[in-house]
Structure 1
Amino acid sequence: MNVTIDVKEKDGIFYVKLTGEIDAYTAPKVKERLMDLADGDGVTINIDLSGVKYMDSTGLGVFVGLFKQLSARSGNMKLTGMSERLQRLFDITGLADVMDINTEVEGGV
């Protein structure tokens, strides 16, 4: 399976829609694109995961790295549109306690 990454910018906020699977094969592509967007101070990125059918630990690592990079530079990240399965991954790992997660999709793409 592949992954598609759609990015739109509106009012200084990046809206990203990911579709497909985020695993060891596709995670490098996702990481590269998201880290490019996060390269600046005070960047805000809203990521719609409603089209993501599967994510493994490599995918989780992408979001941990992005969260750290944005936090270090006074930026923000919001994850939206998570399926129950993805939400459970973030809950089990404790990431849901530190990341801004909303099951509803917002604005943007």
Structure 2
Amino acid sequence: MEIHTRAGSGYTVLACEGRLTMTTAGRLREAVDTAVRDGDPRVVVDLGATTFVDSSGLGALVGGLRAARTAGGDLRIAAPNDQVGSVLALTNLDRVLTPHPDVEAAARGW
């Protein structure tokens, strides 16, 4: 999995490409921690190019949410595909990590 970081208007976008699994979840945790540590606790995780998420990937998203909120920000997800959306719904995490159709929609209201 690759993570591409870019600055939004008052937030950081982390675009994940590939599979978010046990072997790659640490990279997402590190990317969120870096954004928060660098003073930008508002993070959008763009899952548009993420092909698969397992429980470790979900754990990384929840851990990132916790880190962002502890720093006074938030973590939102954008553009999950059907597989990712199904996993979020089956685990009821779609109630905590509300999926947004795109990055702009996720960042709206900040």
Give 1 or 2: higher helix fraction: 2
Q: Offset of 1:41 from its aligned partner?
A: 6.3
Instruction: Choose from 86, 91, 94 the match for 2:92.
Output: 94
Report what 1:75 is aligned to.
73
Letter in 1 for 2:77: L
Q: Is the 8 A contact 2:12 2:40 kept in 1?
A: no
Call closer, same or farther: CA 1:55–1:100 in 2, change over 3 Å: same
Report what 1:35 is aligned to.
33
How many pairs align? 104
The correspondence of residues 46-57 of structure 1 with structure 2, limited to 5 A, is 46-57=44-55
Q: Is the 8 A contact 2:11 2:40 kept in 1?
A: no
Letter in 1 for 2:75: M
Q: Offset of 1:89 from its aligned partner?
A: 0.9
Q: Offset of 1:84 from its aligned partner?
A: 1.3
**Structure 1 runs of 4+ with >4 Å offset:** none
What do the CA deviations read for 1:41-91 (whole angstroms, capped 9, x no partner)?
672111110101111111000001011111222211110110111111111
Q: How far apart, in 1, do the equivalents of 2:41 and 2:27 lie? A: 20
Moved more, 48-57 or 36-45: 36-45
Q: Structure 1: any 5+ residue segments left out of the alignment?
A: none
Q: Is the 8 A contact 1:42 1:74 kept in 2?
A: no
Aligned-residue CA RMSD (Å): 1.7
Identical-residue share of aligned pairs (%): 18
Instruction: Compute the TM-score of the two structures, normalised by the length of structure 2.
Output: 0.84
By relative contact order (CA 8 Å, sep 6+), the higher-ranking structure is 1
Q: Is the 8 A contact 2:21 2:56 kept in 1?
A: yes
Q: Is the 8 A contact 1:40 1:73 kept in 2?
A: no
Report what 2:102 is aligned to.
105
Report what 1:20 is aligned to.
18
